[in-house]
A and B are shown apart, each in its own frame.
Chain A
Amino acid sequence: MVGLHEYLILSGLLFLIGAVGVLTRSNGLILFMSLELMLNAVNLTFVAFSRYTGRLDGHVFVFLVTAVAAAEAAVGLAIFVNLFRLHRSVNVDQMNAMGD
């Protein structure tokens, strides 16, 4: 039998890998994908808890997270397209207009 903690370790690991990706990569799209990975790791956590407590509320949350993530993907990619038109690249290192 697989215990809950094993699922949680797995999801934690995926989350961490996603975080590393967000912090490290300079290509905007890969950064974005790492972000999606993080969201999915959280989804896995929800489902695992949901199964191991017997309550279906977790599924609903996963549903909502998925919907929001999809929406975010759409908007984020549209922004990336615009940025590409402006900078001719999606390298986030070049986009520091909000800094000093």
Chain B
Amino acid sequence: MERTWLWLIPAAPLATSALCGAVALAWCRRTDPAPRRLVGVVACLGPALSFALALLAWAELRGLMPQGRWLSQTLWRWLESGALQLDIGFVIDPLSSLMLLFVTGVGTLIHVYSTGYMHEDRGVVRYFAYLNLFMFAMLVLVLADSLPLLFVGWEGVGLCSYLLIGFWFEDPAKAAAGKKAFVVNRIGDFGVLIAMFLIFWTLQGAGAPGLTFAAMRNHVEAFTPAIATTICLLLFLGAAGKSAQIPLYVWLPDAMAGPTPVSALIHAATMVTAGVYMVARMHFLFDLAPVASTTVAAIGAATALLAATIAVAQNDFKKVLAYSTVSQLGYMFVGVGVGAYGAGVFHVFTHAFFKACLFLGSGAVIHALHDEQDIRRMGGLRRKMPLTFWTFVLATLALAGLPPLAGFFSKDHILWEALSRPNPLLPWLPSVLWAVLVLAALCTAFYMWRLVSLVFLGSFRGEQHTYAHAHEAPPSMAMPLVLLAMGSLLVGFLGVPHALGGSNRLETWLHPSFAVAGSAATEHGATTVASTAAGETALHESSAALAEHAGSAPLSEPGAMAVALAAALLGLGLGFQLYARRPQTAAALAGRLQPLQRLLAGKYFVDELYAAVIVRPFRLLSEALWRLVDVRLIDGVINLLGGVTRAFSFVFRFAQSGYVQTYAFVVVLGVLVLLLRVL
């Protein structure tokens, strides 16, 4: 279905970004303060308008048949080069409508929060300009109907991430963090680019050059398993960069140098999920490449466990949450890696709510304690900031996966899919994946409750006057916290699995986006009776397949849920015991396990490894190239050119002697010669 207003969704934040940018530029030389309140209001209007339009789109989609459930708009011809003709086009199908809703919804809430949090900052107008620009790029990414346009949004969010991480750029450490994020992302982007070229080359070879998702789906038979595997691995390289998986996750903890709302929006709820979104969008290729999918799932699980163990030993409030995000992203990749795209996206959705709530809560605490971020100097804040405390606890329990909160349903769905879907390459893999994820869940519950205990329970361990000044968050910050906590409570019910008697409405909603390639829902065109039937059979098939899976898994679905729940409760209990009840035990344990403690606190020394193995040789190579090639060779050639010119001019200088008689002589000579020729 064509619609003409889709472009407004990304255009609204772009317009407000431009406005804020104009204000920032206009005020940059003036001494009087910029109109912050007005700027804040305007900046929130952009995403709010997008959210309203996203709701409208969702409502419209509901009115359509599942097979024809999409809205599209083509804007203009973008590329015309040889065989490639690409338009700028937007499409909203069930998957992107879901993404749109939480990106714009959570985004608006975080904008509102920022008006409170960033109120006193000198650069607040510039902040909102960047934040809105980010919203624009993210919306372009989600709405894109072709891989190159998605990549435009992809790069745009990378840029805004850089700008916002290094927002307080006068601090060199913060600026370096921004640079690190951008550079690491770039490595991933290289993978996406090569994958795009390969896709185009394959499709062109099959006589159907194009790079829209529809074109790829319709000609999916042109991809051999080998080429599909290569493409998917390259795409995953990009996803690993953007969504912080092994080996490209190192930028995310450093990214905490940016303002906390930025961490909440970009590095928890939206940008980092772009990698998962891209894999989900390209599901039809991943379905063809079991090697790639398995790799995705394996790396996702490994990352989940690695990050969870690191988080256990971190003392910076935001770093704990950062590693938690990396870990949860690992879960999402396990979901899409085993082929349960709906499960992965469900976790993206729920994670946005509780992780954003956790980050905003951390922001409230940091703000109240005047930029203190070390949890060893906190404690007992639950009496001073009760609202923050309760929303934080709610979100923590959601993250840990306690029913009936959202995290329980999404996490368990992934766990069940990982366990029950057999792997064609490695038959033992599902059990291993499941075990790793359960272990990670234990660690997650543990470190989160450690965090809660150290920050909110017990007694305050910092300066007394800091505690005295601590106050609850202002309404602009408190309101989003409440709304997000409520979301963490409620949104899980959209995906209640059949095993617990629910109808898993989310899975059903998302189904048309992940239908097998070739079925009617994915084609732009008229729907026919036959394709309707095909769509329905596909739905029946997948549920039948799921029922089959249940038979082959070592546990039943409720059984698996019970184990996971037990792990979570164990983790919470341990955390409570060690950090709230008997902190001295924790200290004693840390003392006995000193080497392990150091390893975890040092993040397995991965950054140091990279620095020694990659960064340093690269630097040496660059320096050598500079000294030899640039200075000696290239500058030498230029200097040589200059030298030659000088030599020539030295010779020709004598033509301009200044003596009239010399000139006259030349004239006479010339005349004589001419006359001789003429005669």
Q: Do chains A and B touch in the complex (CB under 8 A)?
A: yes
Q: B664: CB under 8 A from chain A?
A: yes
Interface positions, chain A 16-41, Cβ under 8 Å from B, are 19, 22-24, 26, 31
Within the assembled complex, what's the spacing in Å between the Cα atoms of A97 and B664?
16
Contact (Cβ within 8 A) B658 A96: yes
Contact (Cβ within 8 A) A92 B659: yes
Q: What residues of chain A lie closer than 8 Å to B661, measured between beta carbons?
A: 22-24, 26, 31, 92
Contact (Cβ within 8 A) A22 B664: yes
Interface positions, chain B 632-679, Cβ under 8 Å from A, are 653, 656-661, 664-665, 668
Contact (Cβ within 8 A) B668 A23: yes
Within the assembled complex, what's the spacing in Å between the Cα atoms of A17 and B660?
18
Contact (Cβ within 8 A) A96 B668: no
Contact (Cβ within 8 A) A96 B659: yes
Contact (Cβ within 8 A) B658 A98: yes
Chain A nearest Cβ from B668, distance in angstroms: 6
Sample of 15 further A-B pairs with CB below 8 A, known A23-B661, A31-B661: A19-B668, A22-B661, A22-B664, A26-B661, A92-B659, A92-B661, A95-B658, A95-B660, A96-B657, A96-B658, A96-B659, A98-B658, A99-B657, A99-B659, A100-B653
Contact (Cβ within 8 A) B659 A93: yes
Residue from the list B653, B656, B660 in contact with A92, Cβ < 8 A: B660
Contact (Cβ within 8 A) B658 A99: yes
- By a beta-carbon cutoff of 8 Å, the part of chain A in contact with chain B is 19, 22-24, 26, 31, 92-93, 95-100
Q: What residues of chain B lie closer than 8 Å to A97, measured between beta carbons?
A: 658
Q: What residues of chain A lie closer than 8 Å to B657, measured between beta carbons?
A: 96, 99-100
Interface positions, chain B 526-540, Cβ under 8 Å from A, are none
Q: What would 24 A/B residue contacts be, using CB atoms closer than 8 Å? A: A19-B668, A22-B661, A23-B661, A23-B664, A23-B665, A24-B661, A26-B661, A92-B659, A92-B660, A92-B661, A93-B659, A95-B658, A95-B660, A96-B657, A96-B658, A96-B659, A97-B658, A98-B658, A99-B656, A99-B657, A99-B658, A100-B656, A100-B657, A100-B658
- By a beta-carbon cutoff of 8 Å, the part of chain B in contact with chain A is 653, 656-661, 664-665, 668
Residue of A nearest to B669 (CB): A23
Residue of B nearest to A100 (CB): B656
Within the assembled complex, what's the spacing in Å between the Cα atoms of A92 and B657?
12
Q: What residues of chain B lie closer than 8 Å to A93, measured between beta carbons?
A: 659
Within the assembled complex, what's the spacing in Å between the Cα atoms of A93 and B662?
10
Q: What residues of chain B lie closer than 8 Å to A22, measured between beta carbons?
A: 661, 664
Chain B nearest Cβ from A55, distance in angstroms: 24
Within the assembled complex, what's the spacing in Å between the Cα atoms of A10 and B561?
127
Within the assembled complex, what's the spacing in Å between the Cα atoms of A31 and B659?
13
Q: What residues of chain B lie closer than 8 Å to A92, measured between beta carbons?
A: 659-661
Within the assembled complex, what's the spacing in Å between the Cα atoms of A57 and B589?
126
Within the assembled complex, what's the spacing in Å between the Cα atoms of A100 and B654?
8
Residue of A nearest to B653 (CB): A100
Q: 9 closest A-B pairs (Cβ-Cβ)?
A: A99-B658, A96-B658, A100-B656, A99-B657, A23-B665, A98-B658, A99-B656, A23-B661, A96-B659
Q: What residues of chain A lie closer than 8 Å to B658, measured between beta carbons?
A: 95-100
Within the assembled complex, what's the spacing in Å between the Cα atoms of A98 and B653?
13
Within the assembled complex, what's the spacing in Å between the Cα atoms of A56 and B660?
36
Chain B nearest Cβ from A77, distance in angstroms: 16
Q: What residues of chain A lie closer than 8 Å to B653, measured between beta carbons?
A: 100
Within the assembled complex, what's the spacing in Å between the Cα atoms of A31 and B660?
11
Q: What residues of chain A lie closer than 8 Å to B665, measured between beta carbons?
A: 23
Within the assembled complex, what's the spacing in Å between the Cα atoms of A63 and B664?
26
Within the assembled complex, what's the spacing in Å between the Cα atoms of A59 and B659?
35
Residue of B nearest to A25 (CB): B661
Q: What residues of chain B lie closer than 8 Å to A23, measured between beta carbons?
A: 661, 664-665, 668
Within the assembled complex, what's the spacing in Å between the Cα atoms of A96 and B660?
8
Chain B nearest Cβ from A36, distance in angstroms: 15
Residue among A19, A23, A98 with the most chain B CB within 10 A? A23
Q: What residues of chain B lie closer than 8 Å to A98, measured between beta carbons?
A: 658
Chain B nearest Cβ from A90, distance in angstroms: 13
Residue of B nearest to A22 (CB): B664
Residue of A nearest to B659 (CB): A96
Chain A nearest Cβ from B646, distance in angstroms: 14
Residue of A nearest to B671 (CB): A19
Within the assembled complex, what's the spacing in Å between the Cα atoms of A95 and B656?
13
Residue of A nearest to B655 (CB): A100
Q: What residues of chain A lie closer than 8 Å to B659, measured between beta carbons?
A: 92-93, 96, 99
Within the assembled complex, what's the spacing in Å between the Cα atoms of A97 and B656?
11
Within the assembled complex, what's the spacing in Å between the Cα atoms of A65 and B651?
40
